Structures are given as structure tokens and as C-alpha cells.
Amino acid sequence: MSTSHIMSTYGRLPVSFMHGEGAWLWDNNNIRYLDAISGIAVCNLGHAHPTVHSAICKQSKNLIHTSNLYNIDLQEQLAEKLCGLSKLETVFFCNSGAEANEAAIKIARRYGHSQGITKPSIIVMEKSFHGRTIATLSATGNSKIKEGFGPLLQGFVHAPFNDIAAIENIIQKNKNIVAILAEPVQGEGGVNIPADDYLNKIRKICDQHQLLMMLDEVQTGIGRTGKFLAFQYNNIIPDVCTLAKALGNGVPIGACLASEKAGKILTAGTHGSTFGGNLLACAAALAVLDELEKQKLVDQAIDKSALITNLLSEKLQHNNQVRNIRHKGLMIGIELSKPCTDLVQQALLKNLLINVTSGNVIRLLPPLVINREQIDLLVNTLVELVTEHTK
Ligand SMILES: *Cc1c(COP(=O)(O)O)cnc(C)c1O
């Protein structure tokens, strides 16, 4: 491969995968790798899951797409299921996380206009990630990925993550605030876990000031953190919640869930998506939700997370360059005291797929189906890698 016709937006590792099973992947030389990143929190059920496979096959034989000009029964079923699980009321379907957040941003802005606020603003967090479209990039709290794309969209005010006083301060000064958008755990930002009551406090502030509470659960959703949705740790219900990544286990689908109040804002003709919620994507997502429930995978994520992080803590306890091991379910961050982006390539040489965010945080997002043998292999390989790196 001397020349590639793919636009060079990614720094890719030199490996091509051909097939998979659970947490295993095989490359084009039939060498096996352990996947501890799940296609970036997408394949929560693991690769080539038989239930998802057969749902897609069956559906593609009948019908893949009709458009939203017509009723789509599978979309109705999926929306009903998602609303039952989240206690929200309505769903808009799209094809990615960025699109789900675009819908949320449009809801917030239109909500503002309905309140007589003609220049609505949304509070978003520093170190957040909400996508790569112009609106979601503008919302994102990472200046590096915004470079060269100005002028960005107005109407976002950034607050430090996990800082309630900063949010209150902004609201006091800015009468145009209509919503707060946050990730329950920041993924791309470095697996940043806020105080246990952070979301409860945001809920309270939103109620006090009639703001929409909007949660980006694109990465934390679908069982990743040990609850179906991460906000379920807090016994609250947001007004808007966005999903994508693991919802289709690899089949592109995004969703913007809304409460009764927020769900009435986008009326006929105000938003849309050609592919959004087509039959194939909905069939895949329904299979994913069924399987998560049947296998009790969401509950297991907590035990597996404890096992992985306890083993890592024990084996790395004397390494003073390991600053912190943090986790919410199977969203795990190992923070080192020095940069460690090289570890991704070192891990690949040991047939392990991991990720590093924020320069010095090893991020693990293993599939929820990871088994004990694979957990031991993951832990032992990681300990070797970290030990070599910090020698
Ligand atoms: C991945 C991600 C997105 C963007 O999703 P895409 O499907 O890549 O558009 C948005 N928010 C969060 C929290 C994410 O992790």
C-alpha cells in the first residue's frame, strides 16, 4: 500500500482486521488480538455477535430502508423500548453521536426561542467531546480539535467539568442560558469521573432556572458504565439524553431521547434525517437491547470492572508513576505521570488493542462480554507494558 486514496484524517495503526468473535479480533495474517477498546465503545456485545448477525441478515432480506415518509414499526418498537429503559418519552433517530447532539442543540435553541430568548446559549464543559460537526465541535471543550475551523458557532459557554459553582456563576451573569449539556463521565477528555452528586446538582439547577438538562451518553450509554444509562446512578431523569456508539453494536444508529416537555419542541418539518432509524439499524439495535437484557451484561460490567481494576491496582501498587486508576463500570482510565501515547503501538506488538487519551491516560473500553481468561490476559499484558514504559 504505497498510496492511499483515503483522506488522511486519521493516524492509523498498521493492522487490518478480517474477522472477530467476542473480545477477539484476527488480522489478515490470522494473528489474534485482544480488543480492549471495542471499536471505541461501539461493540459492547463483542464482535460478530450471533444475535445481531442474524437480526441484520433477516432484516436485510425483508427490507432495509423506506425513509421517514412512512411509519416504521421497528422504529416504534425501539423507541418504546428505549423510553421504557430511560423513563424518557420520545426519541428522534439519526446515524451518529454528533447527529444526536445536533438534535439536542436544536431542541435547546428552539426551547429558548419559545421562552422569548432570541440568542439562546448552552453551558458545556471544558475537556468535553460532543462530535466533529461544526455545532458539536463548537460545543466541544478541546481547543486542539477546533484549530483552523473558525468561525465556530456562537451560543456555547464553557464551564470547568465537575464545578457546580462555575455553572451557577455563568447562569447568574448570562440571561441567555437555556440548557446544560454534559457527559456523565468524560470519555475522550481522559475518563474524568465527576463527584457522585454532580448530576443531581445539575438537575436541581436546571429545575430552579427552567433550563434543559441534556446528557451526552453517546459513550457512557448502553451498559458501558454498569447501568443501562450512566445517569441511572443518580436517580434523576434528564430532559434530553443522546445515544449512539453501542446502540447498534457497529451498525450506525444514533438517538436523541427527550422528556415529555423537551420532546414536544421539534415539530413536523423542523428536523429530519434520511437514513435515521431505518429498518436495518432498528433491527440491529433491538437485537442489542434484547441481548444485553438476556445475558445480564450490564450488571456483570460492574463485577468485571472491579476485577480488572483490583488486579491492576494490586500489580501496579508499587509503581509511583501510576497516578490513578479510575473507573465507572467498563470505562477505565489509568493515569500515568508521564505521556504514554506510544503505549498504543507497544500494545499492538503484544496483540492488545488499547487507547490513550489526554496524552497520559490509558483508556480501556473492553466489550461487556469479556471473559475471565481475557481479563487476565488484558491485566498481565498491561502491567508488562506500563512497567516497561515507566522503568
Ligand atoms: C464518540 C462521541 C461522540 C461523537 O459520536 P460520532 O458517532 O463519532 O459522531 C459524541 N459524544 C461523545 C461523548 C462521544 O464519545
CATH number of the domain encompassing residue 24:
3.90.1150.10
Question: Residue 100 has which C-alpha cell?
Answer: 444526536
Give the end of a domain, one of 253, 269, 295.
295
Q: Do 82 and 202 reside in the same domain of the chain?
A: yes
pTM, two decimals, is: 0.98
Question: Which atom from ligand 1 is nearest to the alpha carbon of 99?
Answer: 9
Told to judge if 239 belongs to the known catalytic residues of this protein, a careful annotator would answer no
For 230-288, write each residue's pLDDT tens digit.
999 999 999 999 999 999 999 999 999 999 999 999 999 999 999 999 999 999 999 99
Q: Please count the other Cβ atoms lying within 10 Å of the Cβ belonging to residue 387.
A: 14
Domain count of the fold of the chain: 2
Closest to 237 measured CA to CA, from 265, 196, 204: 204
Give the end of a domain, one of 267, 295, 323.
295
Q: Which of 216, 227, 304, 328 is catalytic?
A: 216
* Minimum CA distance residue for ligand 1 atom 10: 130
Q: Do 176 and 138 reside in the same domain of the chain?
A: yes
Residue 134 contacts residue 105 (beta carbons within 8 Å): no
Question: Residue 271 has which C-alpha cell?
Answer: 428536523
Burial (CB count <10 Å: 0-12, 13-18, 19+), residue 206: buried
At residue 32, the pLDDT reads 98
Quote the ligand 1 centre to 276 CA distance (angstroms).
Answer: 16
At residue 2, the pLDDT reads 62
At residue 3, the pLDDT reads 83
Three-class SS state of 228: coil
Q: Which residues line ligand 1 (CB under 6 A)?
A: 96-98, 101, 129-131, 183, 187-188, 216, 218-219, 244-245
Domain that holds residue 319: 17-49+296-389
Looking up residue 277, the CATH number of its domain turns out to be 3.40.640.10
Residues of the chain with pLDDT under 70: 1-2
